[in-house]
């Protein structure tokens, strides 16, 4: 059973009302070398040009390369001794979000278990990103059963006045945002909602905010990420896919191409399943210093793999981005 492109297009288009003009997507960069698992990637280039890729599982796995084409090497973990956060899942770190601030690398990460709101966002800091150099600072923010939100999938961004913000969220009421102190370690506000999908099960997560020219762009992953079974796939379009909205402020409101607020199920499609690429998401952007190009980074489940549609084979997707229309359009890299 393989969903047709038309089926996906109708499914996503009807629910969001904002299917992008192009329903074909470019293929990701072919990657050389042996398979390595990536889910919810974060990709950072160090001053010496080396690429550091971080993944869910493997205690927040660290994978490095000197060329985006690979080969990539699994070199270790951010938290080989587990997180100090005393919550279930402290030995299985999710969605590390790494960025460079004030001379150091900050990794926000999530501790949770599948389908639970008993979740925490933690912080680890390193000067080089190499394995063995990360110092765990523990809990930054948490949620418990009955809260409106779920404290996973963190992303740090800096607003138009230079103030740090932490966006997060997954299902429940979807995507929220907090303000942080300048040292990036302490929360100073209650969560404010950024995006919401009114269709049950409110399937939005994996938010991140990226500034380009005069806009802040909020990207989200919407749909089901994992646990696919080849004979029992979700209805076409209900698997992971990437939507975007934009705002003049990092605080929102984020509107899609049709002017619909992302808090009202808005969102313009950036990437969906196509060809061998199923359920793409967990997206981030980084600017490659070698080429001075923005690179769109995500994971996908290969249809054609030793075990089709199996998220144990979740793989790295890399594309270019064309911004000239004011909206991100993916290109080949």
Ligand X SMILES: *[C@@H]1O[C@H](CO)[C@@H](O)[C@H](O)[C@H]1NC(C)=O
Q: Does residue number 310 form part of the binding site for ligand X (CB under 6 A)?
A: yes
Rounded to whole angstroms, the Cα distance separating 31 from 8 reads 26
Element (H, E) at 6: helix 5-16
Q: Does 315 bind ligand X (CB under 6 A)?
A: no
Assess 209 for contact with ligand X (CB under 6 A): yes
Give the contacts of 232 (CB within 8 A, at least 6 positions apart).
Answer: none
Catalytic-residue membership of 173: no
SS3 track for 206-247: EEEEEEECCEEEEEEEECECCCCCCCCCCCCCCECEEEEEEE
From 173, 204, 205, 239, residue interacting with ligand X (rule: CB under 6 A) = 204
**Interface with ligand X, residue 243, by CB under 6 A:** yes
Interface segment toward ligand X; rule CB under 6 A; list 12-20, 123-131, 271-279, 320-328: 12-20
The residue range among 9-17, 31-39, 60-68, 121-129 that interacts with ligand X, by the rule CB under 6 A, is 9-17
Token pair, residue 272, equals: 């969906």
Q: By C-beta, is 156 or 318 nearer to ligand X?
A: 156
DSSP 89: T
**Measured from the CB of residue 24, what is the shortest distance to ligand X in angstroms?**
18
Q: In whole angstroms, what is the distance from residue 57 CA to residue 54 CA?
A: 10
If one asks whether residue 16 binds ligand X (CB under 6 A), the answer comes out as: yes
Q: Does 261 bind ligand X (CB under 6 A)?
A: no
Contact positions with ligand X (CB under 6 A) in 73-92: 81-82, 86-87, 91
Q: Which of 153, 173, 204, 205 is catalytic?
A: 205
144 binds ligand X (CB under 6 A): yes
290: helix, strand or coil = coil
Q: Is 149 in the site for ligand X (CB under 6 A)?
A: no
Out of 284, 301, 318, 330, point to the residue binding ligand X (CB under 6 A).
284
Has 92 been annotated as catalytic? no
Neighbours of 258 (CB within 10 A): 11
Stretch that binds ligand X, among 65-73, 124-132, 177-185, 196-204 (CB under 6 A): 196-204
Instruction: Tell me the closest approach of the beta carbon of residue 212 to ligand X, in angstroms.
Output: 10
Q: Closest CB to ligand X among 222 and 273?
A: 222
Whichever of 28 and 299 has its CB closer to ligand X, that residue is 299
CA 19/CA 290 separation, integer angstroms: 33
Q: Is 45 in the site for ligand X (CB under 6 A)?
A: no
Q: Enter the DSSP assignment of 304.
A: S
DSSP assignment, residue 262?
G
Binding segment (CB under 6 A) for ligand X, from list 29-37, 125-133, 152-160, 176-184: 152-160
179, with CB counted inside 10 A (0-12, 13-18, 19+), is middle
DSSP state of 120: E
201 preceded by a cis bond (ω within 30 of 0): yes
Cα 65 to Cα 42, 46, 77, 229, distances in angstroms: 14, 11, 15, 32
Task: Give the residue with the Cβ less far from ligand X, 28 or 153.
Answer: 153
DSSP secondary structure letters along 168-193 = EEBSTT-EEEEEB-TTSSSB-S--EE
Catalytic residues: 40, 205
Interaction site with ligand X (CB under 6 A): 11-12, 15-16, 42, 81-82, 86-87, 91, 97, 99, 120, 139, 142, 144, 155-157, 197, 199, 203-204, 208-210, 222-223, 229, 237-238, 243, 265, 267, 284, 286, 307, 310, 312
């Amino acid at each position: 059973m393989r969903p047709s492109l038309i089926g996906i297009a109708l499914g996503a288009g009807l629910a969001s009302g904002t299917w992008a003009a192009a329903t074909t997507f470019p293929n990701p960069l072919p990657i050389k070398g042996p398979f390595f698992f990536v889910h919810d990637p974060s990709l950072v280039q160090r001053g010496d040009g080396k690429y550091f890729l971080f993944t869910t599982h493997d205690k927040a796995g660290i994978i490095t390369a000197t060329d985006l084409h690979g080969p990539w090497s699994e070199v270790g973990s951010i938290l080989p001794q587990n997180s100090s956060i005393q919550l279930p899942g402290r030995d299985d770190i999710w969605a590390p979000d790494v960025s460079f601030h004030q001379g150091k690398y900050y990794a926000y990460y999530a501790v949770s278990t599948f389908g639970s709101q008993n979740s925490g966002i933690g912080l680890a800091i390193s000067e080089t990103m190499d394995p063995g150099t990360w110092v765990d600072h523990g809990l930054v923010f948490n949620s418990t059963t009955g809260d409106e939100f779920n404290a996973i999938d963190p992303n740090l961004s800096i607003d138009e006045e230079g103030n740090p913000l932490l966006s997060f969220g997954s299902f429940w009421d979807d995507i929220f945002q907090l303000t942080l102190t300048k040292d990036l370690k302490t929360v100073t506000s209650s969560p404010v909602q950024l995006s919401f999908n009114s269709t049950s099960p409110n399937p939005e997560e994996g938010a991140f905010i990226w500034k380009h020219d005069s806009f802040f762009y909020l990207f989200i992953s919407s749909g089901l990420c994992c646990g696919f079974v080849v004979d029992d796939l979700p209805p076409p379009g209900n698997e992971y896919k990437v939507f975007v909205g934009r705002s003049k402020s990092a605080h929102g409101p984020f509107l899609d191409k049709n002017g619909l607020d992302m808090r009202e199920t808005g969102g313009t499609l950036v990437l969906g399943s196509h060809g061998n690429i199923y359920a793409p998401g967990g997206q981030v952007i980084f600017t490659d210093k070698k080429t001075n190009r923005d690179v769109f980074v995500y994971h996908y489940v290969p249809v054609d793999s030793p075990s089709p549609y199996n998220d144990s084979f979740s793989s790295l997707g890399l594309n270019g981005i064309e911004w000239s229309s004011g909206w991100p359009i993916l290109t080949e890299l």
